[in-house]
Amino acid sequence: MADVAERGQRIVREFLRRQGEADAPPSPDPLNIGNAFMEMTARLMTNPASVVQAGIGFWQDYLTLWQNTARRMLGGEVQPVITERRGDKRFKDDAWRENEVFDFIKQSYLLSSRYVTNVVHGAEGLNPKTAQKVDFYTRQFTDAMSPSNFWLTNPEVLRKTAETGGENLLKGLSNLLSDLERGHGRLRINMTDESKFRIGENIAVTPGKVVYRNALMELIQYTPTTETALKRPLLLLPPWINKFYILDLRPKNSFVRWAVSQGHTVFVCSWVNPDENLAEMGFEDYMRLGPYAALEAIEKATDERQVNAIGYCLGGTLLASTLAHMAKRNDDRIASATFFTTMLDFEEAGELGVFIDEEQLQAIEAKMSKRGFLEGSEMADTFNMLRANDLIWSFVVQNYLLGQEPFPFDLLFWNGDSTRMPARMHSFYLRRMYQQNDLVKPGAIELDGEALDLRDIRLPAYILATREDHIAPWKSSYKATGIFSGPVRFVLAASGHIAGVVNPPDSGKYSHWVGTGDAPAEPAEWFEHATEFAGSWWPDWQRWILAQDRATVPARQPGAGGLPALEDAPGSYVKVMAGD
């Protein structure tokens, strides 16, 4: 207890010191939530009957719940008034169903959540963006108020408290203080045991060499495991919102290692974790020092002019922009393009659009103007809010209420290894693409002297989307099938933005859907006629790549060509942490 008190005082002192150093007081509503809910309230006041009707329905259900609970306590059999959605992990403990009190608490919460949601949805005439924001933050509120998040109303926590004499709560408080210390007074939830992972030692361990480096990226060439390799090298452009080793976590789930085993000469752009010195780096700099620089380096290393390219998420947006730029200059060095969970048309950007309005963009730009970059933790917080129950509240319960130590999990280690965003690039990306959707407007965006038109992209394209993607909704990714002018193969994988992509064939997880014939205009029509196949989509992609060009050459060793090896993979850039 003395240790807890001393650490708590230290955190408060650090917090007050940081507040004193701030140039201006923080905005009371940085997410611009107040205006959205004021507009919703005004709309509801014009139609009070809908509110009254929702309230009547709520109290009728609640009265039924009271009656059912009373009958159940007297030994009667009753059916629940409301049940949690299938797979809701918050109520997995048996006591939520078997104990009358906790069953009542759970159903009370579910009824209240449904009532609040129904009232919000009853506000007619809202601007779609405002309606989306109201809906999103209403769900954030109802998720936060779940009885599973409070020790007095969580049966598992109460049981643990009785078993340990409250030691779990003291341990949980210690965990909370540790997370506040790691965040220098700002809560940074520890999702995994980070001490169990070392980049280059037990994560991102596929053998290779850094063969090229510039201010924005290191180019890694991986060591072959086959005697021959496909003639065309493979260039991977991961997003710089996160680090590249999502594609090289462990040997068993590494897309990089698997691609090498399939005969690809694999090159990966490992992006720098930028600081204030790179504040003026723009999107065109990422194009020039990323794919363009990589193409020149690959040709020197392999004597091959043409490559197959893959872009993941923001890396896919960069790839498409580069292809449109290359089309203007009749540059055909990229022979085929693959897009993993990539948005090009941002009109329906999903729930990330909640964070893109003028007020929030101005607040973000004000922060970046002072520091020269967007802090990686701020970006991570945004993504975590998209899946708050899984990525926030479950850890609150496990770490702070149950007092458990986080389990070592490679994916969550990567998720916590956030990266910064250069101010100029990030402002351009948010405004020109998310807010204004200029990328799909012919000629609206100019990069390095060329006005981009995605319709100029005529090479074969493989587009992978994931069905439960919270970051790049699959129906938005599908729109690329109607933009590109070349042959397109669209594949939809089960699961989400990460698990749907990082799904090796040996895992036996998740299915994927493949269409036949030309892609229809509407994604729902495509899905209706698509065929579902069990397991990973990786073999389907490999067959598609081989159909483009099967020519092979002797396998190429990193550093043996025109570019010397600079250091072992995974290089130096990936090891720079956001807090460094």
Block means of pLDDT (10 residues each) for the chain, length 580 residues?
Answer: 65 61 56 79 81 87 93 90 92 94 95 90 82 89 94 95 93 89 81 91 96 98 98 97 95 97 98 94 97 98 97 97 98 98 93 84 89 85 85 92 91 90 95 95 96 97 96 95 96 95 93 90 94 96 96 96 95 84
The pTM for the full model equals 0.90
Q: Bridge-partner residues for 450, per DSSP?
A: 447
Which residue out of 81, 281, 297, 313 is catalytically annotated?
313
3-state secondary structure of 415: helix
- Write the CB contacts of 456 (distance below 8 Å, at least 6 apart in sequence): 323, 324, 327, 328, 485
Give the pLDDT confidence score for residue 288 in this predicted structure: 97
Q: In the 8-state DSSP scheme, what is residue 126?
A: -
Closest to 189 measured CA to CA, from 204, 203, 201, 178: 178
Closest CA relative to residue 142, chosen from 68, 79, 85, 63: 85
Which residue, chain included where needed, has tokens 């402002």?
Answer: 427
Name residue, tokens 């059912």: 68
pLDDT of res. 201: 94
* Residue 203 DSSP symbol: B
Number of H helices, E strands in the chain: 21, 17
Maximum Cα–Cα distance across the chain: 83
Alpha-carbon distance 268 to 542, whole Å? 18
Type of residue found at 83: T
How far is C-alpha 244 from the chain's CA centre?
A: 13
pLDDT at residue number 183: 77
Closest to 305 in 3D by CA, of 525, 575, 536, 562: 562
Q: Is 269 an active-site residue?
A: no
- Written as one string, the DSSP assignment of 457-508 is --S-EEEEEETT-SSS-HHHHHGGGGT-SS-EEEEEESS-TTTTTS--GGG-
How far is Cα 85 from Cα 12, in angstroms, rounded to an integer? 40
